Structure formats: structure tokens, C-alpha cells
Chains A and B, each alone.
Chain A
Amino acid sequence: MTVATKAPRGRPLLFTSYPSEMSLFPTTTRKVAFGLLLAVTAILPFMLADAELQLLATCCIAAIGAIGLGLVTGYAGQVSLGHAFFLGIGAYTASVISGDPDGRTVGLGVTNILVWLPAAGLVAGLFGVIVAPLATRLRGLYLAIVTLGLVFIGQHIFNEWSSVTGGVGVGRPAPTLEIFGYSLFTTTASVTRDQKLFWLMAALLLVFALAARNLARSRVGRAFTAIRDRDIAAGVIGVNLARYKTIAFAVSSFYAGCAGALLFTVTGYIEPTSFSLLLSVQYIAMVLIGGAGTISGAIAGAFFITLLPRIIRELQAFLPFISTDANEVPNVLQVESILYGVLIIVFLIFEPRGLFGLWVRARNYWKSWPFSY
């Protein structure tokens, strides 16, 4: 028996086997689009100024964290407000491993990114596994509040444990970006520091995004969505709830740990008060505004939220009533925080699928043009 794996020409959405439907890039268009995206990413550092590249590198890191939250909240449906806690664990694990052994704060002096990045992820993942039993016992809003409690407990520990975190207002240096002695954080004759930074973060985002995409289309990913859609029904058809919720939390925390480790390398300094509830809300906003339950949505949301302050500063030129002075009302910072809130509300009420949903709408419109459906 032969199994047709390729769709006939001109019928890109006709799938004749499950593997072809679930493949990473089901249609030729997707393959081409992905290739184009890669090409643009590769040449982008030659076209943009260093400040923009730095911002885009931060976007890539935030996207890694958002993908992690997307896996547990968007795919597995377990609302976690505790993402900031896991980001913090990752950040401090990495900076302790790569920190200066003779410095003011604890450090082991292993500066290789291949050591501290996976270690940060693993330690955060371990904490995810520790928290997971709560998730298997609690549902919905109870879980949201418990994870919120986690943020407060984490903040207390980060603020007080000053031999590791440097203490409030002081902080400690971020992990060193270095691979086998080659520094990824210095400007050389051929490439600037920010070009290297962007390429590194974009490459890491690619790896993490593809891994998440692969997880989502595997048996594990299908178990996640089954739990999200109806956990009791999922349990009845044989999905081991405890096991898959634990996996969801572990993977999500692993992503958060890695993102946390990288997040502060751009600015160079980690301040313990960064890991507050606001950070968690930002990541929730990324996932929801981008589109819950999609990897590309999480990435789009992360870029959007991270670029938001910059967008507002650009808009400020056209909206003179917004002030850049922090002592005047309304100023840019206030507009920014209000927009976080308002955007969450507007997207949830009018387009629950987020930016991804907007893209689907636009695509469908042009697909059926000039007919409305």
C-alpha cells in the first residue's frame, strides 16, 4: 500500500496523511516564508543601527520566555502568574555560575554560555517540577493565585539573599556572554557587539521556537491541548493529568529560566526588584496579545510588548499632549502602563486569538477576495 504524503499541486490544504498534516511546515508557502524570514534575520544587522539591534535582541529573549509561558498557559491551559519567579531563578542561577569568584557576590567563574544557559534552564525547570504538584491538585483561578503567591515569595528571597543577588538597589552583574573563551559581547573589527548579540539571540530563539513547535505537534503537545480543552475528558481518554501538567510546568520553567538568564545580559546588570508581578503580567500580556495557543503568536506578542515603549516614544512626536518628562501628566511611562492594561482588555474582548488572529483574518480576507467568504 502506498501512502500519499504530498498534497496534489494547487491544493495545498489537502492532506492525505496525518504526518503530512502535522509536519513542521505543512505547505510550500510556509517553507518559503520561513526561508525568507531567516534570510531577513541574517542580513538585518547590516541594515540597522546598534541601538535597534539591541532592542531586537531583547525582543528575541523575551520571545523565548513568552513561548515558555505560551506552552503552559496557551497550550496546556494552566494559568501561571508566576513566570517572573522562574525568570528570576534562571537569571540568578546563570549569574552565580558565570560570576566572578572573587567578586562581591557569589560566583563560580564558569563563563561558558554552553554551561550556564542549560544550567539556568534546568534549575528553573526543577523548580517547575516542585511547583507542579500544586498544579495537579488545583485548577483554574486557584492555580493563578497560588502562582501569584510564588512571585511574592520569590521577590522576598531575591531581595533578602544579598550574597547571591546583591540586594535591593545594588544588584549584581549579569552572566558573561562567552563561548569557549570567545567573547560574544565585545566589538571587534568586523562585527560590532550588538550585531553579535542580535545574531546570537535570533539563533537561540530559532532553536527554542522550533523545539517548542515540535513539542506542540507531538504526543505531549496533543496531551496539553486535550487538558486545556477539558481536563476531565482528557483524563477519561487516558491522558495522565499529573504527568502532563508536570511536564508542562517543567518545560515552561526551563524556557523561563533560559530567557531569564539571557534577559539581563543586554543591560549587564540584574536588580532583584525586577522580578515583580508586573513582569509576570507583561509575559501574560505577550501571550494573550500575541495569541494563546500558538508559537508564532507568542513570538509576535513578545516583540510587540517589548517594542511598545519604543513605539510610544515614536508616536509621542505626533501626539504632543503626551510629555516625555516623568513629572508631567500624562507622560510616556503612564501611557505605556495604561496601554498594557487597555490592550489586554481590547484584545480579549474583540480578538481573543490576538495578533495571530488578526493575521488569520487578513489572510482569509485576501484568500477569498473579492468574495467575503
Chain B
Amino acid sequence: MIALLEGIVRGLGVGSVYALLALGFVIIYKATRVISFAQPALMLAGVVLVSHLAGPLGFWVALPLAALLTAVLALGIERGAVRPMVGRPAFVVAIITLGVDVAIRVVVNIFIGLDVRNVHDPWGLDSWRIGALQVQQRHVAAFLATALLVAALFAFFRFTRMGLAMRAAADDQEAALAQGVSVGAVFALSWALAGALAAVGGTFATAGVSFDGNLWLTALVALPVIILGGLDSLPGAVLGGLGVGVAQELVATYQNDMPWLGGNVSVITPYVLMLLVLLVRPYGLFGTREVERV
């Protein structure tokens, strides 16, 4: 029972990271109808920035600064590689972002170097005891940060002028353009937001432990998450992220009881989950069914 509860808490912590990353994917998808495979590179760039800046500036200054810089990097990608492709098939743009990802990760890996790096976060592996339950602080921090960011994002989309413009552009680009919404600015802002979210998500993903170049694989877990939640659903991304996180940690807790699956089966749980859900619901749990005119 304790193992189960601890697994769920861990899962919520890990899942918050997935939720942040998935939100980035969904925001870009809603604005531009493109899945950005460049997210892993952005996340890695953000984490590396935090790890370099946290030494001289401290974690709490480094995190927002790194998020800002990653947002600028994302803006650059949008301008340089994605904007010229407006109007081309979504798959072509997706493959371009894949190319961007490969190229940027090489550069970022240079800054990781051969040493062990970490983000100098204040939590480490410390934990609180609640009765018999042991809860790691970093998981709580990740969950709270995600809750805060999600609330801020939803408020932004709901109550600000730009948020309204983004929702309008996501709904119908041409109609929004005709109403005076700058769709270009919407594209740019969506990429910037996704970049910042990736940087924050990545930092919490590696809080307490060291990281290396393989951290980018974590960002790919956001792909099954958005497929589960539905490509164009923000609540779907959050719930999907938490759900996948919990499922993954529960499998990790109990995988020793199923040795025939091989070690570390929890790593592929999100993908298996995705396949199973897609067989039943091809548009994810919360996604809108695509209606297409011929």
C-alpha cells in the first residue's frame, strides 16, 4: 500500500514534467498545425543553460533566465526554419523540425562535455516524511511549479488579448487574419512559450540527479502523452502527462514482479499505453475528431 502511494506521488512528480513538455507540443500544434520534433533539443538547451548559469547566479535566477533564452532560441528556429515553410504539408515541416533537433542537440552536447553536470537545484534527493510515506521534495516542487504554470497559461489564454488572438488563430487562421490578428506573432509566441516550457520541464526532470546528452529521450515521452490526450487539447496534455507519469512509475514499482518483461520495462510503458489507447480512440482521449472536406 505504501509502495503504491509512493509510486503515485512519484508518478505525479514525473508526470508534471511530461505535462509541461506536452503543453509545449500542444501549443505549437494548435497555433501552427505542426508537431515540433525540435522540443527535445530545446529542453536540453534549457537544462544546459540552467546548469551553466546556476553556478554564478543561483538556481532561482538561472531558471527564468534560461527559460527566456530558450524561448529566444525557439523564436529563432521558428523564424529561420519553420516560417519559410508556411503552407507546406505538415509532415514536411515536422521533418524539418526533426532536422533542427538533430543539429541543435549536437551543439548543445558540446556544452555538456564529458563532466557530470547537474542543475544545482535546492532540493536534491531530500524527502519529507508524512506518516509512513516518504515524499521526495523535488517531486512536490515539480508538481507545484507545473500547477502554477498551467494556471498562469490557462489565465493567459482566457483573459488576455493575445491569448484570445491565439485561440482565434487556432480556431480558424484565415478568419483570425481577417479580424486583424497577427498570425505571425501568434506563431512566434507559441514557439517561444513552448521553448520556455521545455526549459522548465527539463530542469525539473533532472532536478536532484545529474544529466547527460541522453536526457532528450525524456522529452520524447511527451509525444505519447499528447497522442493520449489528443493533439489539440491543453487539458488533455496536462491530464495525459500526469496519467502517463503515474502509469510509468507504477510499472517501475511493480516491474520486479514481472521479470519476463525484461528490466526497465517502465521506459516503454508510455508507448505501449499510446498504442493501446489509439486502437480504441484514434484521436486521443480529449482530441477533436478531424472532419475533413474533400
Contact = CB atoms under 8 A, between A and B. Distances in A.
B278 A148 contact: no
A348 B95 contact: yes
Interface in B226-275: 227, 231, 261-265, 267-268, 270-272, 274-275
B91 A284 contact: no
Interface stretch (A134-142, A177-185, A245-253, A262-270): A134-142
Interface stretch (B45-53, B96-104, B120-128, B193-201): B96-104
A160 B100 CA distance: 31
Interface of A is mostly: helix
B279 interface: yes
A329 interface: yes
Looking at A137, A139, A144, A157, which has the most chain B CB atoms within 10 Å of its CB? A144
Interface string A68-80: 0000000000010
A149 B106 contact: no
Interface stretch (A1-9, A204-212, A216-224, A333-341): A333-341
B107 A338 contact: yes
Kindly list the 5 A-B residue pairs having the minimum CB-CB distance in the complex, ordered from nearest.
A160-B262, A341-B103, A344-B99, A341-B102, A149-B271
Nearest to B290: A139
Interface stretch (A26-34, A52-60, A229-237, A303-311): A229-237
Contact of B271 (A139, A140, A152): A152
B90 interface: yes
21 contacts: A79-B95, A133-B279, A134-B275, A142-B227, A142-B231, A149-B270, A150-B271, A152-B220, A152-B267, A152-B268, A156-B267, A232-B294, A281-B98, A284-B95, A337-B103, A337-B105, A338-B103, A342-B99, A343-B99, A349-B96, A352-B92
B54 interface: no
Contacts of B110: 329-330, 334
Contacts of A134: 275, 278-279
Interface in A306-331: 327, 329-330
A359 interface: no
B13 interface: no
Interface of B: 35, 81, 84-85, 88, 90-92, 94-96, 98-107, 109-110, 114, 220, 223-224, 227, 231, 261-265, 267-268, 270-272, 274-275, 278-279, 282, 290, 292, 294
A287 B208 CA distance: 42
Nearest to A327: B114
A145 B96 contact: no
B292 A138 contact: no
Contacts of A230: 294
B91 A344 contact: no
Given A146-B227, A156-B264, A338-B102, 9 more contacts: A138-B282, A139-B290, A142-B227, A149-B223, A149-B272, A153-B272, A334-B109, A342-B99, A345-B103
Nearest to A344: B99
Given A334-B106, A341-B102, A348 B92 contact: yes
Contacts of B81: 345, 349
A277 B261 CA distance: 22
Contact of A342 (B88, B94, B103, B290): B103
Nearest to A352: B92
A288 interface: yes
B278 A137 contact: yes
Nearest to B292: A232
B96 A345 contact: yes
A141 B103 contact: no
B294 A233 contact: yes
Given A152-B271, A342-B103, A348 B96 contact: yes
A338 B105 CA distance: 9
B201 to A, nearest CB: 18
Contact of B224 (A149, A160, A327): A149
B98 A344 contact: yes
A330 B109 CA distance: 11
A337 to B, nearest CB: 5
Contacts of A142: 227, 231, 278, 282
B262 A345 contact: no
Interface string A143-187: 011101110110011011100000000000000000000000000
B89 to A, nearest CB: 8
A114 B173 CA distance: 56
Nearest to B281: A137
Nearest to A287: B95
Contacts of B96: 344-345, 348-349
A159 B262 CA distance: 9
A329 B223 CA distance: 32
A372 B271 CA distance: 53
Given A144-B91, A146-B274, A345 B268 contact: no
Contacts of A139: 290
B133 to A, nearest CB: 31
Contact of A153 (B85, B98, B227, B268): B268
A141 B282 contact: no
Nearest to A137: B282
Contacts of B104: 341
B84 A349 contact: yes
Nearest to A148: B223
B227 A145 contact: yes
A159 B99 CA distance: 26
Looking at B106, B270, B290, B292, which has the most chain A CB atoms within 10 Å of its CB? B106
Nearest to B103: A341
Contacts of B231: 141-142
B294 A149 contact: no
A279 B231 CA distance: 26
